[in-house]
Structure 1
């Protein structure tokens, strides 16, 4: 049975309780409400509740890619700078609800997933981890709470000082009303968790997103999340490397042109090298231009296919519902 890392007296949220028959979660602060705290669209003790937990905390894609993480970052879960040091590095702290973006950084930004209030409730952990009452299957319990443990262990390294706590409050990373010292005591309960107790993604700390995308494309590990919303933003990351390559080739070809202008007849081998390098440069430019064009066409094609698939799905759904209505009317 999975254990709760913190004691009852260390909980920071008292909004949830377990019913007398131990079969339901209830709202302690609002007995008439059956909604998850701070998540009014999610009902307690409903199938959506299980789906929500799996969706909001698990990092399935990154877990599958962890065997290659040694190519991306330091193989240590302590490789996480506190929030105040993120500012020293010139990074902007950006809140994200996508769990797979947590602790990914790109250029001058780092993404951090906030802590929802219900995770600070002892009743929530006790109910969901108990085999008798948990709405989650054993595999889902292991995977989901492994990710939640990893999230809290990462926060132990993110919030080390009072200044980090102030930054977390300012950026809405922790619930309102939580105080510094109780939070420090709470997070310390997760500090010494072994790597086996958390999901494999959290065996590593911060990850550079550009490097992740580079190696994922080489290793054919497709990632569903991305940052670039505009074509210009997507292609602008190629400008720097391409300008460098073209600059080097321009200097080399110009030097060769000057050398060939001397009309030295004894440089037959050099002349042959210049000829083939010029041809190779033309082919390289053509390949790069063609590759970028194909990439643009692929992006446009993927968007068109996505739109068409959604349209066909909705049309099929309408036809199915129309046929069902007609059959029911015939029965009447």
Structure 2
């Protein structure tokens, strides 16, 4: 039971690349996430604990068993890997819940037991704060991790489509993927329009230079659009086949 609650095999598997997804020990308190318009989303997957997007942060509730000294003494103290994961997890909570407002938010989202009092938590979290960083699971040497970066790491270095699929439909997924392409298309359109306007000038020398620039820029734009469409089509096919295989 404790293994499924604490082990983070996926994140440990890509630990060497986690610097791309987050900063060392960067964990903000819960109230801060509300300040930057993020939702607090409960997850039971330890691999998703402190994974965030622009709109949400995933937080795993604190298992009550970790607050029981007898459980720690009999099940964790003699298991180095498990105890390191437990220490790292508890250490994150000492940074998530700092103020009483964080404590109330944690209880509202069922992250902490409703029967616990603020004073009790203050005394308890003070012990978690002093846990040395070199004694925790290596995943917890990093704090919050960007989901978009984790997905990128999985695509490039793991040969997988994504770490976690946030969108449950093709429409929503590809609408999010095409945002960057639309911005690039807008900039390209503005540049083409500016070049066309400048070509209408009467300066022949300037027109000669602009003609060459326009020719090269137009050619590169066409090549880019063709490659982009081919790539997006291929990627859509791969996503479809991956999902089809998963359902068989």
Same structural fold, with TM-score higher than 0.5 when normalized by the shorter chain: yes
Q: Hey, what's the Cα distance between the residues in 2 that align with 1:306 and 1:263?
A: 62
1:235 aligns with 2:174: yes
Deviation at 1:269, TM superposition (A): 4.3
| 2:5 counterpart of 1:56 | yes
> Secondary structure at 2:41's aligned position in 1?
strand
Deviations along 1:6-40, whole A, 9 cap, x unmatched? xxxxxxxxxxxxxxxxxxxxxxxxxxxxxxxxxxx
The residue aligned with 2:139 is 201
Q: Which moved more, 1:62-71 or 1:278-287?
A: 62-71
SS of 1:74 mapped into structure 2: coil
Stretches of structure 1 that go unaligned for 5 or more consecutive residues are 1-51, 132-140, 309-332
Please tell me whether the aligned partners of residues 106 and 208 of structure 1 are also in contact (alpha carbons under 8 angstroms): yes
| Alpha-carbon separation, structure 2, partners of 1:122 and 1:184 | 17
TM score, norm. by length of structure 2: 0.89
Check if 1:89 corresponds to 2:27: no
Aligned position for 1:321: none
- 1:224–1:209: structure 2 CA closer, same or farther, 3 Å change rule? closer
Do residues 253 (structure 1) and 200 (structure 2) align? Answer: no
Confirm whether residue 275 of structure 1 aligns to residue 207 of structure 2: no
Unmatched runs of 5 consecutive residues or more in structure 2: none
**Cα deviation 1:78-121 (Å, max 9, x = unaligned):** x2221122212221111110111111111121111001222221
Match of residue 295 from structure 1? 235
Q: 2:94 corresponds to which residue?
A: 156
Query: Relative to total residues, which structure has the larger helix share, 1 or 2?
Result: 2
Computing the radius of gyration from Cα coordinates, the structure with the larger value is: 1
Alpha-carbon distance in structure 1 between the residues aligned to 2:148 and 2:163:
14
Other-structure match for 1:213: 151
Q: In structure 2, do the counterparts of structure 1 residues 123 and 221 end up closer, same or farther at CA, with 3 Å as the change threshold?
A: farther
Which whole-Å CA distance do the structure 1 matches of 2:20 and 2:121 have between them?
A: 34
**Conservation of the 8 A alpha-carbon contact between 2:147 and 2:164:** no
The answer (yes or no) to whether the contact 1:65–1:221 under 8 Å persists in 2 is: no
Q: Deviations over 1:209-228 (max 9, x none)?
A: 22332344344464543322
Deviations 1:261-308 (A, max 9, x none): 457654444323312221211121122122221111111101112223
- Residues 1-332 of structure 1: pairs in structure 2 closer than 5 A: 52-75=1-24, 77=25, 79-129=26-76, 131=78, 141-220=79-158, 222=160, 224-262=163-201, 266=205, 267-308=207-248
The Cα RMSD (Å) is: 2.2
Q: Determine the C-alpha separation between the residues in 1 that align with 2:66 and 2:159.
A: 31
